[in-house]
Amino acid sequence: MNNKPTYLNVKDHSVSGEEFQLLHNEVLDMLETFPQPQGKKLSEYYKSEDYISHTDAKRNLFEKVYHIVRNISLKKKLKLINSFQSEEKTLLDIGCGTGDFLETAKNNGWKVVGVEPDENARTIANSKTNDSVFDIQHLETLEENSFDVITLWHVLEHLPNLNMQVKLLKRLLKPNGTLVIAVPNFKSYDAQHYKNFWAAFDVPRHLWHFSKMAIEKLFHEEQLKLVKILPMKFDAYYVSLLSEKYKSGFMNPIKAFWIGWRSNLKGNRTKEYSSHIYVLKSSISLNKNP
């Protein structure tokens, strides 16, 4: 029986038009999509030509701008992982989409492995990475303590069995390795402004909706310590564009830019941005190397 309070009722704006509840887990300060589709039923909600991370499409101005911003972001992501002390530069990217980040890392000397459940996206990614990308079941075959860096760029919110996923990430990470997780932040100004039209709720594909406290508590249970939080400022503009479309029927770029700008401005003060990058390390290794 569910006894969590309802935070908001949200519609699936991009695929089904169905309505879902966001339940507030008050212990973790996290929202949970309810009901959560299971297995094959969940995959049906990803069948949309507008699911841009599964294609390399540049059909319109919005998608062209998306790719320009993505190229800038790729350079920042590479700079981030290059800043970590890595023994062998082994990288696992979970939910790698069409493989652009893996390709960028590979070209910079990283030994890369990717996981991507979508078959079409996986085919594109393999063409860029010499067949280094596998289906999700491949995670279970990987040896423990295998990777210097594991990244999940807007992926954790999609994964069922959350506690099991956290345990798996800890198992695959080297003792001195670094875990990098990027997720939307439902406490940001743009989330508060758009409410049930906020595109980053993206129900039911997003099963979980995190706060900073939620990330810290979830991973603390597996002795992974949150050591750094970084803003993803472009996300405020991208999410606001989609939110305007859901709210009024068109993207309204001027208003979206205004809300995105205000969100980042308020984020500079509150440290609550539209999306955050969380950097986590083993608390055991940190204690050994103060």
How many angstroms separate the CA atoms of 192 and 276, rounded? 16
Which burial class, exposed, middle or buried, applies to 290 when counting CB atoms under 10 A from its CB (0-12, 13-18, 19+)? Answer: exposed
The reported pLDDT for the residue numbered 87 is 79
What's the distance, CA 151 to chain centroid? Answer: 9
Task: Assign 289 a pLDDT band (cuts: 50, 70, 90).
Answer: low
Q: What is the mean pLDDT of the chain?
A: 91
Q: Based on the structure, what is the number of domains in the chain? A: 1
Q: Which domain holds residue 230?
A: 6-288
How many angstroms separate the CA atoms of 263 and 188, rounded? 7
Using omega within 30 degrees of 0 as the cis cutoff, is the peptide bond preceding 231 cis? no
The answer to whether residue 74 scores a pLDDT higher than 80 is yes
> What is the mean pLDDT of the segment spanning 41-63?
65
Dihedral sign for Cα 170, 171, 176, 178, please: negative
- How many C-beta neighbours within 10 Å does residue 59 have? 11
How many angstroms separate the CA atoms of 220 and 178, rounded? 14
Task: Assign 32 a pLDDT band (cuts: 50, 70, 90).
Answer: very high
Spatial strand order of the sheet with 30-34 comes to 6-11, 19-25, 30-34, 208-209
207 with 160: CB under 8 angstroms? yes
> 195-217, pLDDT tens digit by residue?
999 999 999 999 999 999 999 99
Which burial class, exposed, middle or buried, applies to 223 when counting CB atoms under 10 A from its CB (0-12, 13-18, 19+)? Answer: middle
The reported pLDDT for the residue numbered 62 is 58
Task: Let me know if residue 96 belongs to a domain.
Answer: yes
> What is the mean pLDDT of the segment spanning 13-39?
95
The answer to whether residue 67 scores a pLDDT higher than 90 is no
User: Above pLDDT 90, what percent of the chain?
Assistant: 79
Question: At residue 175, what are phi and psi to the nearest 5 degrees?
Answer: -55, -35
Q: Domain holding 155: CATH number?
A: 3.40.50.150
Three-class DSSP category at 71 = helix
Lookup result for tokens 């803003």: 231
The reported pLDDT for the residue numbered 58 is 56
> 76-89, pLDDT tens digit by residue?
999 999 999 887 99
Task: Let me know if residue 1 belongs to a domain.
Answer: no
Lookup result for tokens 């652009």: 100
The reported pLDDT for the residue numbered 250 is 87
The reported pLDDT for the residue numbered 212 is 98
> What is the mean pLDDT of the segment spanning 115-124?
92
Write down the pTM of the prediction.
0.92
The answer to whether residue 251 scores a pLDDT higher than 60 is yes
Three-class DSSP category at 114 = strand
Number of H-type helices and E-type strands within the chain: 10, 11
Task: Assign 55 a pLDDT band (cuts: 50, 70, 90).
Answer: low
Question: At residue 232, what are phi and psi to the nearest 5 degrees?
Answer: -115, 85
Task: Assign 255 a pLDDT band (cuts: 50, 70, 90).
Answer: very high
Bridge partners of residue 276, in order along the sequence: 183, 231
The answer to whether residue 71 scores a pLDDT higher than 60 is yes
β 275-282/208-209 pair status: unpaired
How many angstroms separate the CA atoms of 143 and 141, rounded? 7
How many angstroms separate the CA atoms of 26 and 45, rounded? 27
